[in-house]
Structure 1
Amino acid sequence: MASFKITGGRKLKGEIVPQGAKNEALQIVCAVLMTKEPVTIHNIPDIRDVNKLMELLVDMGVRREKVGEGSYRFQADKVNFDYFETPEYKDKASALRGSIMLLGPMLARFGKGKAPRPGGDKIGRRPLDTHFTGFQKLGAEFIYDPNDAFYTVEGSKMKGAYVWMDEISVTGTANVLMAAVMTEGTTTIYNAACEPYLQQLSKMLNSMGAKITGVGSNLLHIEGVKELHGCEHTMLPDMIEIGSFIGLAAMTQSEITIKNCKIPELGIIPDVFKKLGIQMEFRGDDIHIPAQTHYEISSLIDGSILTIYDAPWPGFTPDLISIVLVTAIQAKGTVLIHQKMFESRLFFVDKLIDMGAQIILCDPHRANVIGLNREHKLRGIRMSSPDIRAGVSLLIAALSAEGTSIIDNIEQIDRGYQNIDGRLNAIGAEIVRI
């Protein structure tokens, strides 16, 4: 198990380029299974979760060729279905939350799919019912064996149908969408997630020959086609990493320019950070964060305390709630952070409290942050990363703290952030991987 040793209190300065979007990559990489023709994908992040998923595809028989930095060509013309019955497949797929995204493409192209119960972040219940209910509405048969924790879906009799998503799930919508694209007839998906990741997936599938309309809304119409063709696709920059860098700049009083952000795709993310008092300047497609000695949390028109909460897109993404929380620690003012979607995601605040933050954890979903306004510095401690986003939040806190911190279990951070220590060290941080 690796750790980060962080020397805090350093002000950073320079330019940083966000990686490709992790959450988009997990969908896009699985979609290469939907055609036997070559598919080229650019801007794939070099992170643990995505690399493990690509290795799993290679084990299935998908050919992968690196054609440039962050660019790969895939061809799934010889998929080995016997591999899905092996203990190796179960072990590898169960360690990846993203492996559940293989089911939609397998159903679409081969009429059957099999996957173990996947792993991922320990951030509370993340039920998969939405995925399987959607498959069943298309006519698939679902079998779950509790003895070996395997999901099996048989889709040889699938037909287009009306699918109501009982949860606005990004991965659930993507899975059902991919299954429907090559299902005979017309499928309507209502209450669909509409995040930029879903829009990107839909655009990629349409470029392969799919017939999807309503892209960007919560109502998708799909006319089933018999086959898809190869394509070339470039992924968006990671909006969660962009938000993380905004929070990092504010907490460490650093001057940072975030390059190539695809600002129109960020939705309300910049506006939420502005509510914390963080200044930023859009320079073309770059975001410049000036060094700020102080930043003040906005209050509501009637003077009451600001609440920041997560919501389905175009609301504020839940993956940035942890970042906003840690950024508020050194602000002037008070903010209530309401994490609605995952009941265990705020439990890492006990480590921030140990560092000197003034936070009241009201319940598993809400935390009240009373900003220190730089009157007191956080102090370095030893802590452990419970999940990807909490891990980076702790890293931001450590970089702003006085003294030395050690963060254990940084494999969690590596799952979602590409060479984060190397890139931050290049602009003035002092992070040692031990």
Structure 2
Amino acid sequence: MNNAFEIIGGKPLKGEITPQGAKNEALQILSAVLLTSEKVTISNIPDITDVNKLIELLGDMGVTVERLGPDTYSFEAKNIDQDFFLSDAFKAQGGGLRGSIMIVGPLLARFGKASIPKPGGDKIGRRRLDTHFLGFEKLGARFDYNPENGFFNVDASNLKGTYMLLDEASVTGTANIVMAAVLAEGITTIYNAACEPYLQQLCKMLNRMGAKISGIGSNLLTIEGVKVLGGTEHRMLPDMIEIGSFIGLAAMTGSEITIKDVKYKELGMIPDVFRRLGIQLELRGDDIYIPAQEHYEIETFIDGSIMTIADAPWPGFTPDLLSIVLVVAIQAKGSVLIHQKMFESRLFFVDKLLDMGAQIILCDPHRATVIGLDHQVKLRGISMTSPDIRAGVSLLIAALSAQGKSTIYNIEQIQRGYQHIDDRLRALGADIKRI
């Protein structure tokens, strides 16, 4: 297994890069094919481990999967093998793939039952699945945990619409509950629903399949249950985390980069947060153009106090980009406080950045103050290991801006979220190879 990247940093890059389809949208959209026996065609699917595993899992469940092009597949979930869910094969696959929780809602809705192994995944703190389970229970599902085989068995033979207030605005939780509710009897109202563009995409797709969902884009969704859903075609949004990563990469390496086809309206406040770090970017058609800039200066708040960038549920700033903002701030002029509210151990990769020469004060597991070097001092290349997907790419950006050679191990983590990232960076002139 090629499990490390070797990077010689310190070179400006140049050119165009196209973001992949959105990983977090893919896991929901692919699960939704289970809601109908008719054919569903999906394009702009990213070629990354988590997504490919889910496509493989769908195939093993009995879905007819056809690859129509590099990023386009059709799915027909006519004959689903119900016994597969109690097999060791499913336990092995489902347990290692966080996305597998997303098949539960559709299975409950269509077949009235499901089994799921206890889930696994990233090391970014506890990701509770309570929201999913509580939502299913409110719709009338009954859970039974079997400690002997490590499975939850769920009986949902009689789902009925209801009002619910989610305990947190979980994107995957909302998606899962929506998929269960579209075929439930009566009206379901979900308040404190997540309203991310990816979730809006799912709801629009379900409506094209015959669902009756209103309130899309708000945190109050109303779902009128229908008897059956039909096939449709769907194109996924570009991955906003990749787009943000490339903006940061351009700034940190002083590069002139054009990011193609970004679906700008769906990026929310992401471009503005990078502008607050002093990064110039302009919209050209639906592309973001970032000129080569020697310096970028962090704004202060109007009263002169230090800039704080914090994550919040959409339309707030996504937690997945805070690691990127933290790294990009290292070479800015000025200081910024990064406040990671939603996950408790995402800032622990700063020790690697300190080894590279960054000036960062880790206040606690949630907050770090970055004192910008303004390119007066270059980072130095080191050997490091990637703890999670987003930190992995942040370290990659740091390495590309550093003087000398860096080696990043555990790159499987990066490949879970970013397709062919080394090839695409080489096309911009990056000196990166697998070893």
Matches within 5 A, 1:191-210: 191-210=192-211
Once residues 193 and 131 of structure 2 are traced to their aligned partners in structure 1, the CA distance between those partners, rounded to angstroms, is 11
Post-superposition offset of 1:157: 1.9
Aligned to 1:225: 226
Secondary structure of 1:65's aligned partner: strand
Post-superposition offset of 1:110: 0.5
**After TM superposition, where is structure 1 displaced by more than 3 Å over at least 4 residues in a row?**
none
Once residues 379 and 32 of structure 1 are traced to their aligned partners in structure 2, the CA distance between those partners, rounded to angstroms, is 47
Report the AA paired with residue 139 of structure 1: G
1:350 maps onto 2:351 in alignment: yes
Secondary structure of 2:237's aligned partner: coil
Once residues 420 and 287 of structure 1 are traced to their aligned partners in structure 2, the CA distance between those partners, rounded to angstroms, is 19
Secondary structure of 2:272's aligned partner: helix
Once residues 206 and 70 of structure 2 are traced to their aligned partners in structure 1, the CA distance between those partners, rounded to angstroms, is 23
Report the AA paired with residue 74 of structure 1: F
Number of matched pairs: 434
Post-superposition offset of 1:97: 0.8
Post-superposition offset of 1:113: 1.2
Post-superposition offset of 1:242: 0.1
Once residues 102 and 148 of structure 1 are traced to their aligned partners in structure 2, the CA distance between those partners, rounded to angstroms, is 19
Aligned to 2:341: 340
Matches within 5 A, 1:357-376: 357-376=358-377
Aligned to 1:44: 45
Post-superposition offset of 1:354: 0.5
Secondary structure of 1:192's aligned partner: coil
Once residues 148 and 291 of structure 2 are traced to their aligned partners in structure 1, the CA distance between those partners, rounded to angstroms, is 56
The change in CA–CA distance for 1:305 and 1:128 in structure 2 (over 3 A counts) is same
1:427 maps onto 2:415 in alignment: no
Aligned to 1:239: 240
Aligned to 1:126: 127
Once residues 205 and 391 of structure 1 are traced to their aligned partners in structure 2, the CA distance between those partners, rounded to angstroms, is 34
Aligned to 2:111: 110
Post-superposition offset of 1:198: 0.5
Report the AA paired with residue 186 of structure 1: I
Aligned to 1:60: 61
Report the AA paired with residue 103 of structure 1: V
- Give CA-to-partner distance per residue, 1:140-183, whole Å, 9 cap, x none: 10122234332222111211101110111000000000000000
Secondary structure of 1:220's aligned partner: strand
The change in CA–CA distance for 1:346 and 1:147 in structure 2 (over 3 A counts) is farther
Aligned to 2:318: 317
Post-superposition offset of 1:114: 1.3
- Give CA-to-partner distance per residue, 1:16-54, whole Å, 9 cap, x none: 000000000000001000000000000000001000110
Secondary structure of 2:110's aligned partner: helix
Post-superposition offset of 1:248: 0.2
Aligned to 2:381: 380
Segments of 5+ residues of structure 1 without an aligned counterpart are none
1:409 maps onto 2:406 in alignment: no
- Give CA-to-partner distance per residue, 1:346-383, whole Å, 9 cap, x none: 10110000100011111111011000110111000000
Aligned to 2:144: 143
Once residues 331 and 361 of structure 2 are traced to their aligned partners in structure 1, the CA distance between those partners, rounded to angstroms, is 15
Once residues 5 and 122 of structure 2 are traced to their aligned partners in structure 1, the CA distance between those partners, rounded to angstroms, is 19
Once residues 50 and 119 of structure 1 are traced to their aligned partners in structure 2, the CA distance between those partners, rounded to angstroms, is 15
The percent identity for this pair of structures is 72
Post-superposition offset of 1:69: 2.2
Matches within 5 A, 1:69-80: 69-80=70-81
Once residues 142 and 194 of structure 1 are traced to their aligned partners in structure 2, the CA distance between those partners, rounded to angstroms, is 27
Report the AA paired with residue 351 of structure 2: D
The 8 Å contact of residues 109 and 159 in structure 2, kept in 1 or not, is answered as no
Post-superposition offset of 1:345: 0.6
Aligned to 1:156: 157
The change in CA–CA distance for 1:363 and 1:148 in structure 2 (over 3 A counts) is farther
Once residues 113 and 291 of structure 1 are traced to their aligned partners in structure 2, the CA distance between those partners, rounded to angstroms, is 53
- Give CA-to-partner distance per residue, 1:85-144, whole Å, 9 cap, x none: 111111111111111001000011001111112222100010110000000100110122
Secondary structure of 2:261's aligned partner: coil
Once residues 269 and 315 of structure 2 are traced to their aligned partners in structure 1, the CA distance between those partners, rounded to angstroms, is 7
TM-score by length of 2: 0.99
- Kindly report the root-mean-square deviation, in angstroms, between the aligned alpha carbons of the 2 structures: 0.7
Aligned to 1:32: 33
Aligned to 1:186: 187
Secondary structure of 2:330's aligned partner: helix
Aligned to 1:12: 13
TM-score by length of 1: 0.99
Secondary structure of 1:379's aligned partner: coil
Once residues 347 and 220 of structure 1 are traced to their aligned partners in structure 2, the CA distance between those partners, rounded to angstroms, is 36
Matches within 5 A, 1:274-353: 274-353=275-354
Report the AA paired with residue 379 of structure 1: R
Segments of 5+ residues of structure 2 without an aligned counterpart are none
Report the AA paired with residue 311 of structure 2: D
Post-superposition offset of 1:284: 0.7
Aligned to 2:212: 211
Secondary structure of 2:154's aligned partner: strand
Once residues 44 and 104 of structure 1 are traced to their aligned partners in structure 2, the CA distance between those partners, rounded to angstroms, is 21
Report the AA paired with residue 269 of structure 1: I
Report the AA paired with residue 169 of structure 1: S
Post-superposition offset of 1:243: 0.1
- Give CA-to-partner distance per residue, 1:404-431, whole Å, 9 cap, x none: 0000000000000010000000110011
Secondary structure of 1:184's aligned partner: coil
Secondary structure of 2:425's aligned partner: helix
Once residues 220 and 123 of structure 2 are traced to their aligned partners in structure 1, the CA distance between those partners, rounded to angstroms, is 31
